[in-house]
Amino acid sequence: MDFLASVLDADPLIIARWQFGITTVYHFLMVPLTIGLGLLVAVFQTIWVRTGREHWLRMTKFWGKLFLINFIMGVATGIVQEFQFGMAWSEYSRFVGDVFGAPLAMEALLAFFVESTFLGLWIFGWDRLPQRIHLATIWCASLATILSAYFILVANSWMQHPVGTEIVDGRAVMTDVWAVFTNNTALVTFPHTIAGAFAVAGGFLLGISWYHLHKRRAAGIDTVDDAGRVVVGEDPSHGRGRDRTDYRVWITSLRVGAAVAVVAFLGTAFTGHEQAQLMFEQQPMKMAAAEAACHDGTGFSVLSVGDLSSDGATTCDDVVGVYELPGLLSYLANGDFTTEIKGVNTLLPEYQEKYGTHLPDDPMYGDRAGQEINYLPLMEVTYWGFRLMITFGGMAAFAAAVALWLTRKGTVPGGKWVSRLAVLGIAAPFAANSAGWIFTEMGRQPFVVAPNPDFDGVDQVFMFTAAAVSPGVGAGELLFSTIALTSVYAVLAVVEVVLLTRFVNGGVGSAMPELGPEPDPAAGRSDGHGPGGDRPHGDPGSPGAGNDDVLAFAY
Amino acid sequence: MEFLPTLWFILIAVLWAGYLFLEGFDLGVGMLLRGFARREDQRRVLINTIGPVWDGNEVWLLTAGGATFAAFPYWYASLFSALYVPLVLVLLALIFRAVALEYRGKAHTDLARSLWTWALCAGSYVAAFGIGAMLTLTTTGLPLNANGDRVGGAFAWFNGYAVLGGLGAVGFCLVHALAFLSLKTDGDIRRRTGRVLRRALPAFAVPLAAWAAVVVAGHGKPVGWALLATAVVVLAGAWAAARAGREGWTFIGLGAFLLSGIAAIFVSAYPVVLPSTLDPAFDLTVQNASSTPYTLGVMSVVAAFGIPLVLAYQAWTYWVFRRRLSERHIPAPHPVRTIVR
């Protein structure tokens, strides 16, 4: 029981931060796949409607199915996000609500409603809606996911760089909504995040399609001729599930995925560069910590080592730059190779002078009032978070480029290991997204709302994380919720991956049962008008009418 | 009476009423999966009646929460942090429910399907109970200090009102779902919903009426009493309609009962949004809990554009999926066949 007692004595702030970190990083595993895959499915369906070629229909159905399995997890974990500001961070909510609440409410009203309603129409509307209206529903839903990203990134960017606001009676109030919604931080973060989402979707298409092409080769369905070109075959024992159209599904998906992954990575690189330049101005300490740059300099650290946390607090005393690229850091920050970038040791006194050395003696800080403020974020996290983001992102894009080259003759190489690598590669863009968010959020510490360096004097808008947590909520409550949510999330992660794997292994047939070996009598119909046909509403009374099988697509 | 905070108080009341009206029946359908639905095919009929619409209905909750954050940050902060433990349970319930709705039909084994059924059913009960308790407590009060923080520990919120409000929401969801199913299904389910409604419609609605009566009596406003009387009258009308076999009127009557009941509650509570049981000086009101007129003005413009749009396309969704379902519409399950090894 000593252990329990000591845990309950723990600072609620620490538990609340872990909870927010775990639930947010987890939520953001589903979000980029939803954003990226949703739009790609809309594009696939558009091409099918315009050309009538069946592999685009199959791609719509198959990737649409995986999209839905993933989407629901994003929905379920998203509610936690909106509620926990008030639950665990009530002082934060009181301080920022006038500004921060608006984009959140708008996200729900203008984006979530569209997303959820039109996705419901898309899932169940295959036979109920005219073809073009049905197509419009997936566009509405997927564009709404992108719109929702904009709203939430406006909110987050305001925490990184508060604009359009001033302090009135101790809280931040909005003075200029246009400034909040055109915050330069938001305008670069939004394309960066969207590009990151497409990197995830591209890698997802690439890995799964590679796996299927590999399995077709391993089963002897597809072969290669003497020149290495693919000879497409089919396996009638699986109905139409592994016919020649099935080959087209995977090779097209693979190429689209690889191209999307490469372009998306270039997008993240350019927007990331813009973002870094802004961050050097807006949060110089974050970028110094990203570099483990203790002293002023121009070099980008390729590897730095040091005992950063000997006494539990990050210090800058013994970080050794093992290898640096001279001038590169200046280029990243300023576009030239000579301007010295301020290091941690220069920045620390500046921050202390501007924002104080100790937390004020204010009841909002609770037991934390008077504590010394450590302006240096956890350097291990920022330094490695920044590098892992770039490394994973770059690896995934390089692999995608290689994949395009390797498949130039129409199929994948036969090797088992390269196929495993392609499947494993699905994880890289996810990891890059997580690392980037962990870097930027941890790098903002000790602030929850980072100060805007353009503001000066007494009306500075910022908030320490130490002041943000709910004063009325105890460590026991926070511990209970953190453990409960983490356990449920862990179980659901396993469930989702098992389900995705099962549907992937089922091939397109898992989303289109009519492709299977024993066609269901209720679903049996000629190829001419597949389940996406725009036939008029069936007779509601006729039992087992073909259009009722639409329910199979859903529940 | 300040115009913008009052307008937003009304809008938030409307969002909560909209949530209870719409998700009311889909939470209730989730509850009816056990105890009412008799076989697997009936469970699938039930789930498919709400399949296209439940997620859109749940966004009413997110919008109510988000609008409270934007328009009344102090209300949002105090209420949500004070009800920390019950809201964690509501969140877990909503997670299980949402995932179960999507994954149940993809389950491979009877055991997995049965577990998802339980998750959906229990999740619906817990979510409805928790939201009902929360809405009751925001009108009957919580032990808040001068800063708006709960004192007295993790369970200081618990009292008879919370239970009454929880039961009120659960009872209403059940009866509303029965009325919804009688409109959306055919065959055995439709017959049985009609039979239950004929016999016991008022019994399900009593806790909600009692919750409204407690709040109205606590404030004694004539307009509150008038709305409560309206609620009781339309409830009687709904029962009469049920006994006459008028399914559409039963559903409309129950909806009107909910709306007038919620109106009675919020009108009585106005202008207090969250009373403190420790000291009336600590009460949160539409004045002292609200955002600035500037923010409320911006949000009003967005709401004036957004809310009618939402109502229009959600109404269209219900029109698209207006057809009745029955067991014979449910196709055999399509198991996913592994084609690669």
Taking contacts as CB-CB distances below 8 angstroms, the residues of chain A near B317 are 117, 120-121
What is the β-pairing status of strands B284-285 and A165-168?
unpaired
Domains of chain B: total: 1
In a domain, B188, yes or no: yes
Mutate: best of B40, B44, B62, partner A, most A CBs <10 A? B62
pTM: 0.92
In a domain, B153, yes or no: yes
pLDDT tens by residue, A196-229: 999 999 999 999 999 999 999 998 899 889 888 9
B205 pLDDT band, cuts 50/70/90, is very high
Please confirm whether the linkage preceding B73 is cis (ω < 30° from 0): no
Strands of A297-346 (E only): list them.
Answer: 300-305, 320-325
Q: What is the pLDDT of residue A3?
A: 59
Q: What is the pLDDT of residue A360?
A: 83
Percent of chain B with pLDDT over 90: 89
A with B: how many residue pairs have Cβ under 8 Å apart? Answer: 301
Long-range interactions of A8-11: CB distance < 8 A, separation 24+: A8/A474, A8/A475, A8/A476, A8/A479, A9/A475, A10/A475, A10/A479, A11/A367, A11/A368, A11/A475
pLDDT tens by residue, B220-234: 999 999 999 999 999
In a domain, B338, yes or no: no
* Count of other CB atoms within 10 angstroms of residue A348: 17
pLDDT tens by residue, A134-167: 999 999 999 999 999 999 999 999 999 999 999 8
> Which residues, at least 6 apart from A312, have a Cβ–Cβ distance to it below 8 Å?
none
Q: Which of B325, B53, B323 is nearest to B188 (CA)?
A: B325
Please judge whether A481 and B104 are an interchain contact, meaning their C-beta atoms are less than 8 angstroms apart: no
Phi, then psi, of A326 in degrees rounded to 5? -65, 140
In a domain, B155, yes or no: yes
From B48, B95, B328, residue closest to A543, measured CB to CB: B328
The pLDDT of B238-246, averaged and rounded, is: 95
Whether the predicted pLDDT of B69 surpasses 80: yes
> Which residues, at least 6 apart from B259, have a Cβ–Cβ distance to it below 8 Å?
B17, B21
In a domain, B124, yes or no: yes
What is the β-pairing status of strands A171-174 and A223-224?
unpaired
Please judge whether A110 and B302 are an interchain contact, meaning their C-beta atoms are less than 8 angstroms apart: yes
Q: For residues B101 and B56, what is the distance between their CA atoms, to the nearest angstrom? A: 13
Please judge whether A79 and B62 are an interchain contact, meaning their C-beta atoms are less than 8 angstroms apart: yes
Distance of CA B8 to CAs A538, B296, B300, Å?
A: 45, 8, 8
Q: What is the pLDDT of residue A537?
A: 37
Q: What is the pLDDT of residue A544?
A: 38
Give the pair of three-digit tokens for residue A434.
Answer: 């997580």
Distance of CA B68 to CAs A470, B10, B21, B73, B285, Å?
A: 17, 11, 19, 6, 13
Taking contacts as CB-CB distances below 8 angstroms, the residues of chain A near B30 are none
Taking contacts as CB-CB distances below 8 angstroms, the residues of chain B near A484 are 88, 92
Taking contacts as CB-CB distances below 8 angstroms, the residues of chain A near B332 are 520, 522
The C-alpha of B51 sits at a distance from chain A's nearest C-alpha, in angstroms, of 7
Q: Which domain holds residue B273?
A: 3-329
Taking contacts as CB-CB distances below 8 angstroms, the residues of chain B near A492 are 95, 99
Query: A406: buried, middle or exposed (CB in 10 Å: 19+, 13-18, 0-12)?
Result: middle
The pLDDT of B250-276, averaged and rounded, is: 95
Distance of CA A495 to CAs A61, A154, B67, B99, B237, Å?
A: 21, 33, 33, 10, 47
Q: What is the pLDDT of residue A179?
A: 94
10-residue block means of pLDDT along chain A (555 residues)?
62 93 96 97 97 95 96 94 95 95 95 95 92 96 96 96 91 94 96 97 96 92 89 84 91 96 95 91 88 79 64 59 77 76 86 86 79 87 91 94 92 88 94 95 92 75 91 93 96 95 92 72 39 36 40 51
The C-alpha of A326 sits at a distance from chain B's nearest C-alpha, in angstroms, of 47
With beta carbons less than 8 A apart as the criterion, state whether B84 and B53 touch.
Answer: no
In a domain, B340, yes or no: no
Q: Give residue A279's Cα distance to chain centre.
A: 20
Q: What is the pLDDT of residue A538?
A: 36
With beta carbons less than 8 A apart as the criterion, state whether A546 and A532 touch.
Answer: no
Q: What is the pLDDT of residue A519?
A: 47
Taking the alpha carbons at both ends of chain A, their separation in whole angstroms is 47
Burial profile A421-445: b = 16 or more Cβ within 10 angstroms, e = fewer: ebbebbebbbbbbbbbbbbbbbbbb
Q: Which of A481, A393, A399 is nearest to A437 (CA)?
A: A393
Distance of CA B182 to CAs A81, A420, B43, Å?
A: 36, 52, 15
Q: For residues A250 and A241, what is the distance between their CA atoms, to the nearest angstrom? A: 12
Q: What is the pLDDT of residue A330?
A: 80
> Could you tell me which chain A residue has the CA closest to the CA of B85?
A477
Give the pair of three-digit tokens for residue B341.
Answer: 């090894």
In a domain, B334, yes or no: no
In a domain, B337, yes or no: no
* H or E element, residue B285: strand B284-285
